[in-house]
Structure 1
Amino acid sequence: MRSRRSAGLLLFRHTDGGPEVLLGHMGGPLWARRDAGAWTVPKGEHDPDEPAWEAARREFQEELGLPPPDGEAVPLGEVRQSGGKIVTAWAVEADLDPGSVTPGTFTMEWPPRSGRAAEFPELDRVAWFGLDRAREVIVKAQSAFLDRLAEHSSRG
């Protein structure tokens, strides 16, 4: 079986308190009451024949309803999440007002086995986090992206 693949963009900005990253809280009823492990790099699945960089930019637009920012893309590599999905990410320095986001939606059966379809936002909110706080809330495997960004920032 082929692994599912996702690609995304991790926006970062420099503040007096250090670097901050923009994360999205996963939408839908399964994540509604969770904080730790419920925040993610804005990302989405792509087919193996679609270049990951193009998928990352497309998914940013779909997830946040905004065009992906221009700027130098810092490759953050890949991680394998606990469910087996492989996520590729790039960091891009940009500032974005979380209030300007209009998230895409998905449909799922809710409540379970009810036969009713309900629509939910892909991300129900986005916010800026300092790296320490981001490590507390991000999907566990994705914390490697924060470490790689911090390493890149300390060299720059």
Structure 2
Amino acid sequence: MVVRRSAGLLVFRRTGAEDGAVEVLIGHMGGPFWARREQAAWSVPKGEYGPEEAPEDAARREFREELGLPVPGGEWLALGEVRQSGGKTVTVWAVEGDLDPAAVVPGTFSMEWPPRSGVLAEFPELDRVGWFTVEEAAPLLVAGQREFLERLVTRVRGRA
């Protein structure tokens, strides 16, 4: 059995609020399946990797591929792993940074569309990116990634 693994990087910024609140940068998944969905249709920039690649390297690579921007400098905070309902294990780190969503140049993927048409169409991996408070981001993220928000808040408040 092949274990599918994915790694990603969650960028956050402090809001300046006295409660230590943060905002996170997440992306809406591209392609026709996600086009009309909002809730549970957003993701941490992440992607799959094989046994020959270190998860940190995969997170860095996927961030650049999906956003078209360099990875923000700064200390990476390990947020651990989560096993999603489909069986994939996702590992995420967080890094403090401030990126302009308008500067994102998303990577693309190809798939047959419409189904069984024989026509390959190209779609952005993420069709939009935005900053959200943790409370706003939670219902937007796919369910298997929401745990990372709780872990981030715990880590950031513990470092304040």
Scaled by the length of structure 1, what TM-score is found? Answer: 0.98
Looking at structure 1, the residues matched to 133 and 14 of structure 2 have their Cα atoms a distance apart, in angstroms, of 10
Residues 1-156 of structure 1 mapped to structure 2, 5 A cutoff? 1-17=1-17, 18-156=21-159
Q: For 2:40 and 2:83, how far apart are their aligned partners in 1?
A: 15
Question: What secondary structure is seen at the aligned counterpart in 1 of 2:93?
Answer: strand
Q: Determine the C-alpha separation between the residues in 2 that align with 1:88 and 1:49.
A: 16
Per-residue CA deviations over 1:85-133 (Å, capped at 9, x if unaligned) read 1110000000000000000000000001111100000000000010011
Q: Unpaired segments of 5 or more residues in structure 1?
A: none
Mapped to 2, the partners of 1:38 and 1:82 lie a distance apart of 15
Please state whether the residue corresponding to 2:71 is helix, strand or coil.
coil
Deviations 1:14-64 (A, max 9, x none): 013520000010000000010111000000110122100011001100000
8 Å Cα contact 1:5/1:48 also seen in 2: no
Q: Please list every run of 5 or more consecutive structure 2 residues that lacks an aligned counterpart in the other structure.
A: none
CA RMSD of aligned residues (A): 0.8
Q: Report the identity percentage.
A: 63
Q: Secondary structure in 2 aligned to 1:66?
A: coil
One-letter amino acid matched to 2:148:
F
